[in-house]
Chain A
Amino acid sequence: MNRHGHALRIAIADDEALARSRIRDLLEDCAASFALEIVGEAANGCALIELLQQTPADVALLDIRMPEMDGIEAAQHMQKLDDAPSVIFTTAYDVYALKAFELHAVDYLVKPIRLRRLHDALSRVRAITPLSLDVLQQLTPEPRRHLSVQERGRVLLVPMDKVLFMRAELKYVTIRTMEREYLIEESLTRLEEEFRDKFVRVHRSYLVGRDHIESFERGGEGGPESGWVVKLRGLDERLPVSRRQQHVIKDFGRI
């Protein structure tokens, strides 16, 4: 029993069905000495976030390499949930992640998982200090594939390739997709660093999706001081290009 008074609620995320069933078997073995309950299974990070919003869990056993959204990214988005579960990563072999786990004292299990290890990890789970976003971001060199937005008590996932541009506001960053705008609590500088490959800074407060740029145009009266604006595919709005970022236009070879 644990101090919450209920059985330990566990969610499993792994893209391989047999790997999930192996964990289930092991958890059943643990159940003999441990009150636990499997609240659900997911085949990737996105599905896990969905699942957790329906049925909260105390622990998530999270595979690292999964399609759509990997485990490390899922752990980052999970922190926005009201009662975020503790995370125990599972991996068959991932040199980079294992090094990072050791460095930051992150809990992990290597597959094939031993019953004893799983048992130990679960008994310690209440004592685990929640992972900070900073640490999680250092666990992988890959940029996230989604941004998560908190809205009316829910966490929405916005795929990065749907994001046309990002605009810095006073406290927030607005992200724009074809359909609508979302507010996220991150800094534009940090976003610029993370998504360097896909987004380019055209103005102090604008990051623009490289693949979405249609053209650069001469702005009319009252335009930005550089005289240039950028047009994105499928969007009527023109975004300003600042004098300092004018070199971007040349880089695109569309002057």
Chain B
Amino acid sequence: MSRKQSILGPKSPSRQVFGAVKSINQNGHRDVLPDFRNLGVILRVVLIVLALSGVLALAQAGNWQAVLPRFLEVSAPVQPVLVLSILALSVLSGWLRSLEYWTGIVIVVLVELLVASLVYRLGEQFFGGDGSGQLERYWLYIVVATGLILYYFHLRNRALSPALTEARLQALQARIRPHFLFNSLNAVLSLIRAEPKRAETALEDMADLFRVLMADNRNLSPLAREVELTRQYLNLEELRLGRRLTVEWHTEKMPGEALIPPLVLQPLVENAVYHGIEPRSEPGVISINVYKVRDEVHLVLRNPYRQDGGHHAGNKMALGNIRERLALHFDAEASLKSSASDDAYQVHIILPYRKEAR
């Protein structure tokens, strides 16, 4: 497999969001329809339609008092069309995105017209319509709305164009603290004379860790790999910190095959060690809980915490970095929350469950 393929691999899951994450090597960027299965896309469609209904209501209402009733009137036929369209498009999404961009657009518009006509006919049956030209006007609205929405996604797609997203992902790639690198090297050096076997294992762990850190980390990778990497990292920290560090893993319900952005867990654990364990003399526990609920993967990390610890800027930066990478990969479907109590700090990440397409 060539390098280009391995980055672009047709199954590369990072393409699922707007097809935005592609290689820089590719010339220009190809327009792709949005992924209508993505929560963020759905949310945006709903908001745009609501806004358009609002504008229409504003335009039609004679005075301010009439705006709200008019808005409800306008919305009434719009809502069923909206719901049905989203359903239809999310079912067709995979197929639509495999088509030529313009073919896809034509089909989307046709689907919309079909849905609109269906709703109109049904409405006519149940509530009776005043016939005459209504359907044509309805069609016009639909075409304009669909066009605006697709144009919006076209612009957004361009704003998040591959090169840009690529550059941002690259800049955001987690960097290990030099503090950790040099302290670990120092620890290994001190082992060489007395315990050469342990020194060997430690250097092997370091090699693996840095191989991943220096690799191309723009594509999603299996959760199991990320957990293994984090374990190797923790082996090194345990070497340095000895009894001061205890790690509790809860990975019984871990979906090892789930795909997540690489280097999400390890930097968080590194933070936990740096801010939670190192400033303490007494031993501390880091607990890592990885599990799956329905279609969500949860990563929960807890560490001891003292409020006067200082150096919080570094922690905020690391969290901001991970949050942005999650957004680039999953848009609104992933979240990262952190919370601090008197003596513990917790980070909770929720990701959509994705796995390698077969």
Contact = CB atoms under 8 A, between A and B. Distances in A.
Looking at A67, A68, A94, A113, the one whose CB has the most chain B CB atoms below 10 A away is A67
Interface in B134-152: none
Given A16-B183, A92-B183, A67 B189 contact: no
Contacts of A22: 186-187, 189-190
Contact of A112 (B186, B239, B310): B186
Interface string B229-270: 000000000011110000000000000000000000000000
A226 interface: no
B186 A92 contact: yes
Given A25-B193, A93-B178, A110-B182, A19 B278 contact: no
B242 A17 contact: yes
A161 interface: yes
B357 interface: no
A38 to B, nearest CB: 15
A94 B186 contact: no
Contacts of A142: 310
Interface of B is mostly: helix
A142 B309 CA distance: 10
A18 B186 contact: yes
A21 B239 CA distance: 13
A92 B179 contact: yes
A19 B281 contact: no
A114 to B, nearest CB: 10
A70 to B, nearest CB: 9
Contact of A161 (B179, B242, B308): B308
Nearest to B311: A142
Main secondary structure on A side of the interface with B? loop
A15 B191 CA distance: 16
A182 B287 CA distance: 42
Contacts of A113: 186
A112 B179 contact: no
B280 interface: yes
A194 B91 CA distance: 63
A46 to B, nearest CB: 9
Interface string B188-206: 0111011000000000000
Given A44-B281, A65-B179, A67-B278, 5 more contacts: A16-B183, A21-B194, A94-B179, A142-B310, A161-B308
10 contacts: A15-B281, A16-B241, A19-B187, A19-B190, A43-B281, A44-B281, A65-B278, A67-B279, A68-B281, A110-B182
Interface of A: 15-19, 21-22, 25, 43-44, 65, 67-68, 92-94, 110-113, 142, 161
Interface of B: 177-179, 181-183, 185-187, 189-191, 193-194, 239-242, 278-281, 308, 310
Task: For the complex of A and B, list the 8 residue pairs with the smallest distance between their C-beta atoms, beginning with the closest.
Answer: A22-B190, A92-B182, A18-B187, A93-B178, A92-B183, A18-B190, A112-B186, A111-B186
